[in-house]
Amino acid sequence: MKILLHCCCAPCALSCVSSLRAQGIESELFWFNPNIHPCVEYNARLECLREFAANEKLNLRLIDEYGLRLFLKEVYGKIDETVSVPERCERCYSLRLEKTASVAAAQGFAAFSTSLLISPYQNHDALKRIGEEMAAKHGVDFYYTDFRPLFRESRTAAREMGLYMQKYCGCIFSEEERYARKSVMRRRALCEEERYVKKSLTQRRGGAEITEEREMGFLDKNLSQRRGGAEITEEREMGFLDKSLSQRR
């Protein structure tokens, strides 16, 4: 049996291919991902998949079109339209899986599947439902397998092979959300740091409040003292400074 395997990227395809082989199923890879943006990211993932297919001696079918306009039209509609994340993802699944089903039926494959099924971050119920809908529409089987237990193994093997490892699912909206989360985490870290500094500078020693000026004076005094008659060198000074700062409570 041979199936057409839609590939979102090489790291995800890797263990899907090996798992299918273990079941006696051969795969022909298929690339159709108009969701991936920007163009530099699209090209990086495609070139990585080409390299993987060549190394594994797998056939690779391509619809190599950088599809920003198609993606926005089919998945998001009007740019100011309110589309929830689950709905947006389902539209994206439908766009890619319908094309895969169409090609599989036209080229005489027994079935089709997708490497998206290995990701714990994807909606598997939606993928299965949409895959089966597209299979019925185009008269070809959808081969559903839960590849998720192989996700970590696949990522580890991909790193060992030196494959390109992406940081987000591919679409511009997931990239926007990724940076938004990073920004929130950065702000939280800065607030925590500010609270720690304020606490350190307002601590009391011997009943007296330590102001910022007194704190720096305390450090200067300790750094200028001599121990055992030996002058504090710059290297020792920096080491002592680090120690003094780490002892503040």
Q: Are residues 147 and 236 in the same domain?
A: no
* C-alpha to C-alpha distance for 31 and 113, rounded to whole angstroms: 12
CATH of the domain at 157: 3.40.50.620
Q: Are residues 6 and 76 in the same domain?
A: yes
Backbone angles phi, psi at 120, to 5 degrees: -70, -10
Please write the tens of the pLDDT for every residue from 184-215. 455 565 566 556 555 655 665 554 555 555 55
Say how far residue 163 (Cα) sits from the centre of its chain: 14
Domain count, the chain: 3
pLDDT at 48: 96
Q: What is the DSSP letter of 80?
A: T
Q: Are residues 181 and 223 in the same domain?
A: no
* C-alpha to C-alpha distance for 1 and 188, rounded to whole angstroms: 53
Please write the tens of the pLDDT for every residue from 122-166. 999 999 999 999 999 999 999 999 999 999 999 999 999 999 998
User: What average pLDDT does range 67-82 have in this prediction?
Assistant: 68
Give the pair of three-digit tokens for residue 207.
Answer: 């009943």
Q: Are residues 224 and 238 in the same domain?
A: yes
Strand partners, 204: 209
Q: Give the structural domain span for 13.
A: 2-170
Q: What is the DSSP letter of 109?
A: -
Give the pair of three-digit tokens for residue 106.
Answer: 């036209």
Angle at which helices 212-224 and 234-246 pack, to 10 degrees? 140
With vertex at residue 169, the alpha carbon angle to CA 168 and CA 171, rounded to the nearest 5 degrees, is 100
Q: Are residues 189 and 132 in the same domain?
A: no
